[in-house]
Amino acid sequence: MIYAIPHYEIDNHPILFDEMFLQRHRLFVEGRGWKDLGDVSGREIDQFDTTSAIYLMALDTEGSLQGGIRLVPTTSPCMLNAVFQDLCTKRDMPRRIETWEFSRLFVCHHSPVDDEGVSIKGRLMCAMFEFCLQHGIKSLTAIGDTFLLPRVMSAGMEATPLGLPKQYETGEMVAVEMTVSESILGKMQNYYGVPVQALQSDLSLPRRVNDRQVPAFPSPDNRVEHLFGLNGFEDQSLESRFEGKRSQYLSRFANLVQKLSSADQREVNEAELELDRLTEEVLETLHGSKSGEFSKERKTLQ
């Protein structure tokens, strides 16, 4: 069983998250020799394990961890745009709401296959593509060893290098961008022998606002309504009022996405304040909410 679990659920699943960080340490620090990633607690946690991250975790029937993947939007700080910018020498670094970075793929040494005899790695990869298709994510970036590229291609994935390979202490790494599509997912399912619907449950989906469920990662064309929990109109006059400002709100929000991922903390702080103002304006346009009431809405979303 594979679950998509957002980082903000860490307090609800402390044992599971702790085991994930322990397993990552055993694989990447002890196994691969990436000593810079380790800490004295025997856990591998870096600066990208934040509230922006979504984790795909494979569990057996007893709830024990079998493997995992980390997903981070490229509009937030991630490995490629914050640490390995020099790997993008042939193409511009992706920084789009529909492009996410995946990293920290691991499978516990004691269980290379699941209870049905299916490769846990293969099931995780297929679940990742299912997650992307559900959330309008059109491509994935990754940084990996060059020797893995032939394996990726043989599984049916389409990977385009973003630059030239670079030597590091224990090998040679390259940054790639992979296309996400239904047809590619089908090829991966056939290659790994993974049945349809590898993703068992998506805990990032149920965000309730005013007793309505809204997707966590909406498609770009209606992301403002979904972001603030304002999809669906009972009053047609409200819908008409909003339509007149839709493009303006989308444009302002798109500009804020770029600023929120800036390396300049002052710019990030200013963007967060502007996002609050934009949210209150949208709420007032639709529901007549007064300034300051957004704080209550925001707590509901968190």
SS (H, E, C) 227-272: HCCCCCCCCHHHHHHHHCCHHHHHHHHHHHHHHHCCCCHHHHHHHH
User: At the topology level of CATH, where does 2-202 sit?
Assistant: Aminopeptidase (3.40.630)
Does position 10 have pLDDT exceeding 50, yes or no? yes
Q: How confident is the model at residue 261 (pLDDT cuts 50, 70, 90)?
A: low
Cα dihedral 153, 160, 4, 205 in deg (nearest 10): -130
The predicted pLDDT at position 286 comes to 59
Is the pLDDT at 146 greater than 70? The verdict is: yes
Spatial CA neighbour of 193 closest among 126, 135, 247: 126
Among 1-10, 16-25, 76-85, 276-285, which is the least confidently predicted range?
276-285
Helix axis angle for 265-287 and 294-301, nearest 10°, is: 110
The CA-atom distances, in angstroms, between 133 and each of 51, 156, 180, 238, 268 are 21, 16, 7, 31, 29
pLDDT(284) > 80: no
Query: Quick check: 156 pLDDT over 80?
Result: yes
Contacts of 13 (CB under 8 A, 6+ apart): 5
Distance CA 185, CA 155 (A): 10
Query: What single-letter DSSP state applies at residue 112?
Result: S
3-state secondary structure of 223: helix
Each residue of 67-84: pLDDT tens digit? Answer: 999 999 998 899 999 999
User: pLDDT at position 113, please?
Assistant: 82
**CA–CA distances in Å: residue 291 to residues 268, 270, 274, 302:** 22, 18, 13, 19
Domain layout of the chain by residue ranges:
2-202, 207-301
Helix, strand, or coil here: 161?
strand
Vertex 203: Cα angle to 117 and 19 (nearest 5)? 60
d(CA 238, CA 270): 30
Element (H, E) at 127: helix 120-134
Task: Say if residue 176's pLDDT is above 90.
Answer: yes
